[in-house]
Amino acid sequence: MLAVWQAADEMEIFESGWVFDHFYPIFSDSTGPCLEGWSVLAGLAAATKRLRLGNMVSGIHYRHPAVLANMVSTIDIMSGGRLELGIGAGWNEEESGAYGIELGTPRERSDRFEEHCEVLVGLLTQETTTFDGKYYQLKDARNNPKGPQQPYPPICIGGSGEKRTLRTVAKYAQHWNFGAGTPEEMAHKVEVLHGHCADIGRDPREILLSAHIRLGEDLNYGKVADDVAALAEVGLQLAIVYLPPPHTPDVLEPLAKVLSTVA
């Protein structure tokens, strides 16, 4: 991973690098090895110079928002202001259940997520934060020092729930990650997001649109370019390409070459 990131750091077409926030692998054998995302991100922040970097995305039930706010500010400082703050309501039942971390029902996750966003923004912007919610209670809580990005690192929210998640995106996010799906599915979700923005008077152009594109083990770079181009037709602005194992920087040059045709 370090070799890939450092090589990408030298290639202008790659704007950002992302890890995920899981404790078990989610695309392979869940009993396999998996490094903790925020610790890895701190190491990669110190080992790179240009790439923006983030977690795609952090399940908020894993960490209290006060803990996460301090982590965010610290890594934003370590990276010289390159952090992207990826967060989501959480979904992984296997690892949550194994660790005894309460995931909750979909409604509870959405309620908790809205509280978490409010608390997190408060801690990243205010000298002290007081909050009395169902899930979180804070009294004159501090997060100091804050990172160099003001008012705070761009918030990327992952998820496509039309009633709750996309409404939270409209309220708090500077970046929405669609995940993966067809251009038709993304176009519909974008339409729903724009509706939520209109409801609160938010300009939807303030929200960056990204999606996941998978480079398969067959290394079909042309398919990656085709997938990016198709989603770009419905608003995609940032393609986040999943690289196949084993992680090697050898894939970057051919990937950059095909992406340059659609960038």
pLDDT at 14: 97
Chain segment 92-124, per-residue pLDDT in tens:
999 999 999 999 999 999 999 999 999 999 999
Residue 263 has pLDDT above 90, yes or no: no
Distances from the Cα of 227 to the Cαs of 37, 156, 176, in angstroms?
27, 22, 18
Q: Of 100, 117, 206, 212, which Cα lies nearest the Cα of 160?
A: 212
Phi, then psi, of 131 in degrees rounded to 5 = -150, 135
Q: What share of the chain is helix, strand, coil (3-state, %, to 5)?
A: 45, 15, 40
Single-letter amino acid, residue 55: N
Chain segment 6-56, per-residue pLDDT in tens:
999 999 999 999 999 999 998 888 999 999 999 999 999 999 999 999 999
Entry pTM: 0.95
Mean pLDDT of all residues belonging to the chain: 96
Chain segment 53-69, per-residue pLDDT in tens:
999 999 999 999 999 99
CA distance 240 to 134: 35
Q: Of 178, 231, 171, 234, which Cα lies nearest the Cα of 206?
A: 171
Phi, then psi, of 201 in degrees rounded to 5 = 75, 30
Tell me the pLDDT band of 180, cut-offs 50, 70 and 90: confident
